């Protein structure tokens, strides 16, 4: 999977218009600095760090913006991050889009540094948008900032292959070994147990004694063999496979041979012994769908139980 792009280096002009009573000059290097005209009171209400910063006496000879003669406060944050951060604070302003995980991580770091707790819900929701595409990266971010539920969701979305990329070494070093071990333990056990469960659930011999009571015979065996292989392949790519995913797999598998599926809609017939015991052929389309729904539900229950057992109620300490 292609890694997310780097941070954009071109800030907007949102905070260069009239208004504001202080200039935040962002950028670690003189050549990368950008001025942002902001309001002390708004930033101070959102952040005790900004409140303390603006409350300090102005040193003699403090730099003033030439155009507006406003005091300048230098901050080390990249301009593209400081351009987005106030948008999450200002009332009535549309929140900025979070295009990638590096931008999200930088915003979370800034929120943590300036103690801006009001924007954490928005950033946590933004993290969820990366769970499916970049589950391990999202997991690392969740662990780094103590988001237990998001870490669990990312683990549920992940697989072993997500944690074997060379370009993740730097990210892994930012969290505790306990959290990395939890990811590895969960995804490995989930995949191993899931494969065994699917094998048993779709094994012809596990479907009951019905196969000797209808005319599907080897045709039914072949159908379930193809279905089992397709489901296992789908599970290998998507260990959190759900009912809709399995239905898509079913659509790609050739239909079962005609036979009991052509019986009346009730699909119920009786054994030749005449004992009156009802019997529903599992190769009827509705029976196959119900079988896959039950399979997905059971896998989900097993995975959630495993997740809670491995993660408990807190993340590891770094």
Over 70: is that where the pLDDT of 259 sits?
Answer: no
pLDDT digits (tens, 9 = 90+) for 124-178: 999 999 998 889 899 999 999 999 999 999 998 887 666 655 566 777 788 888 8
Neighbours of 285 (CB within 10 A): 12
Q: What confidence score (pLDDT) does residue 42 get? A: 93
Task: Kindly report which listed range (6-15, 82-91, 116-125) carries the lowest average pLDDT score.
Answer: 6-15
- Contact between 111 and 81 under an 8 Å Cβ cutoff? The reply is no
Q: List the one residue out of 116, 71, 109 whose CA is nearest residue 89.
A: 116
Q: What is the CA radius of gyration of the chain?
A: 29
Read off the tokens for 62. Answer: 């403090």
Cα–Cα distances (Å) from 294 to 97, 198, 265, 297, 302, in that order, read 39, 11, 21, 5, 12
Neighbours of 14 (CB within 10 A): 15
- Contact between 176 and 317 under an 8 Å Cβ cutoff? The reply is yes
- Contact between 52 and 3 under an 8 Å Cβ cutoff? The reply is no
Task: Kindly report which listed range (47-56, 244-253, 303-312) carries the lowest average pLDDT score.
Answer: 244-253
pLDDT digits (tens, 9 = 90+) for 29-51: 666 678 888 899 999 999 999 99
Backbone angles phi, psi at 183, to 5 degrees: -60, -50
Q: What confidence score (pLDDT) does residue 271 get? A: 40
Q: List the one residue out of 144, 149, 90 whose CA is nearest residue 119.
A: 90
Q: What confidence score (pLDDT) does residue 288 get? A: 76
Q: What is the mean pLDDT of residues 220-241?
A: 78
Q: What is the pTM of this model?
A: 0.74
Read off the tokens for 273. Answer: 């012994």
pLDDT band at 107 (very low <50, low <70, confident <90, very high): very high
DSSP 11-25: --SGGGSS--SEEEE
Average pLDDT of the chain is 77
Over 80: is that where the pLDDT of 310 sits?
Answer: yes
- Contact between 208 and 283 under an 8 Å Cβ cutoff? The reply is no
Domain ranges, ordered by start, for the chain: 186-311
């Amino acid at each position: 999977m292609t890694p997310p792009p780097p941070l954009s280096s071109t800030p907007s002009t949102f905070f260069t218009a009239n208004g504001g009573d202080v200039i935040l000059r962002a950028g670690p290097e003189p050549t990368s600095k950008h001025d942002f005209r902001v309001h002390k009171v708004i930033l101070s209400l959102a952040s005790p760090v900004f409140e303390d910063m603006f409350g300090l006496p102005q040193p003699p000879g403090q730099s003033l913006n030439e155009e507006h003669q406003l005091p300048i406060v230098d901050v080390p944050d990249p301009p593209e991050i400081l351009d987005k951060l106030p948008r999450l604070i200002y009332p009535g302003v549309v929140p900025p889009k979070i295009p990638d995980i590096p931008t999200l991580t930088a915003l979370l770091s800034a929120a943590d540094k300036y103690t801006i707790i009001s924007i954490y819900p928005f950033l946590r929701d933004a993290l969820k948008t990366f769970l499916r595409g970049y589950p391990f990266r999202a997991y690392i971010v969740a662990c780094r900032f103590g988001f237990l539920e998001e870490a669990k969701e990312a683990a549920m979305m992940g697989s072993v292959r997500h944690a074997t990329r060379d370009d993740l070494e730097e990210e892994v070093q930012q969290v505790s070994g306990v959290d990395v071990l939890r990811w590895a333990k969960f995804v490995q056990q989930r995949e191993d147990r899931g494969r065994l469960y699917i094998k048993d659930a779709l094994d012809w011999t596990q479907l009951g004694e019905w196969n000797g009571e209808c005319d599907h015979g080897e045709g039914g065996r072949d159908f379930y063999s193809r279905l089992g292989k397709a489901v296992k392949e789908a599970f290998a790519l998507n260990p959190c496979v759900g009912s809709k995913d399995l239905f898509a797999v079913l659509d790609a598998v050739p239909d079962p041979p005609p036979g009991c599926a052509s019986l009346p809609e009730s699909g119920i017939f009786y054994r030749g012994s005449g004992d009156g015991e009802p019997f529903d052929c599992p190769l009827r389309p509705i029976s196959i769908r119900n079988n896959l729904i039950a399979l997905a539900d059971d896998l989900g229950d097993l995975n959630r139980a495993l997740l809670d057992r491995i993660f408990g109620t807190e993340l590891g300490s770094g």
